[in-house]
Amino acid sequence: MRCALIEAEKANYPITWMCDQLNVPRSSFYAWRAAAGTVTATVARRRVLAQLVAKVFDDSRGTYGCRRVAAELNRKGHPASVGLVADLMRELELVACQPRSYKTTTIAGDQPVESPDLIEREFSAPAPGQRLVGDITYLRTGEGWLYLATVIDLATRMVVGWQLAEHMRTSLATDALAMAITGGHAPAGVIFHSDRGCPSTPRSTSERRCRCPGCGPRSARSATPTTMPWPRPPSGCTRTSASAATPHSGADRCRP
């Protein structure tokens, strides 16, 4: 620090006088100034490693932490400790994204009811009102989690029924199906397909069907969660997942 001060003020004061006032030998000051523009081997190695760390981090799409980056560098013949890599990542402001642990949300319930897969994994329909599919999406908001149940027509990919609630009880799925029935999108003989989650079991949908005269949808479920191209949800809602969701401000912003 004292040598740097002398260098900064050399145009205003004599170097000899400043060295005497700051108790810095002139030889030490001139040696410091000669070495100021040189790059040591340690600094040069850190610069090279910083570039390699950034490349490995980018190649991993931001998923590698300091331990995995260090392991990859050592595997490629660039010795580096975990602590050194952690320091370089901190200097470069590289923060790995940490995926959340997987949580099973499709539960068959205490008394699962067997139901055949009537559509046999064929997620298409020749005409509207023949095949409907249902699923539940998680929406993270500033007020907590909301759950969106949707009913989609496989012919038009249109959301014909939906319901938004703060719970995942059976009424969430049956209310969405009731909206499709009320709107005339579920005529007699239509197939309603969902996964094996307990909110939309055949028993619950059949109970709701009994309260809707003139409609007789058959319930079909698959052994695994339904996978299909998902159309746009109701206006104002963004389909997302529980692992990586952009929070909404609240329930009112999620309604059309």
What's the pLDDT tens digit per position in 158-193? 999 999 999 888 888 889 989 998 888 888 888 888
Please report the pLDDT score of residue 220 as a whole number.
Answer: 53
What letter would DSSP give residue 1? Answer: -
Q: Label residues 156-190 b or e (16+ Cβ within 10 Å = b).
A: ebebbbbbbbeebebbbbbbbbbbbbeeebbeeeb
What letter would DSSP give residue 179? Answer: H
Closest CA to 136 of 82, 218, 196: 196
What is the Cα–Cα distance from 192 to 138, expressed in whole angstroms? 21
Task: Point out the least confidently predicted range of 20-24, 112-116, 138-142.
Answer: 112-116
What's the pLDDT tens digit per position in 56-88? 999 998 989 999 999 999 999 999 999 999 999
pLDDT at 196 over 80: no
Task: Point out the least confidently predicted range of 38-42, 152-156, 162-166.
Answer: 38-42
Please give the helix or strand (H or E) that residue 127 lies within, else none: none
Please give the helix or strand (H or E) that residue 71 lies within, else none: helix 66-75
Q: What is the DSSP string of 9-42?
A: TTTTS-HHHHHHHHT--HHHHHHHHHHTT---HH
Please report the pLDDT score of residue 34 as a whole number.
Answer: 78
Give the three-class secondary structure for 51: helix
pLDDT at 243 over 50: no
Question: What residues form DSSP beta bridges with 174?
Answer: none
Please report the pLDDT score of residue 52 as a whole number.
Answer: 94
Output helix, strand, coil percentages for the chain, rounded to the nearest 5: 35, 15, 50
Q: What is the dihedral of CA 65, 66, 71, 76, to 10 degrees?
A: 100
Q: Please check whether residue 166 is in contact with residue 145, taking contact to mean a CB–CB distance below 8 angstroms.
A: yes
pLDDT at 215 over 60: no
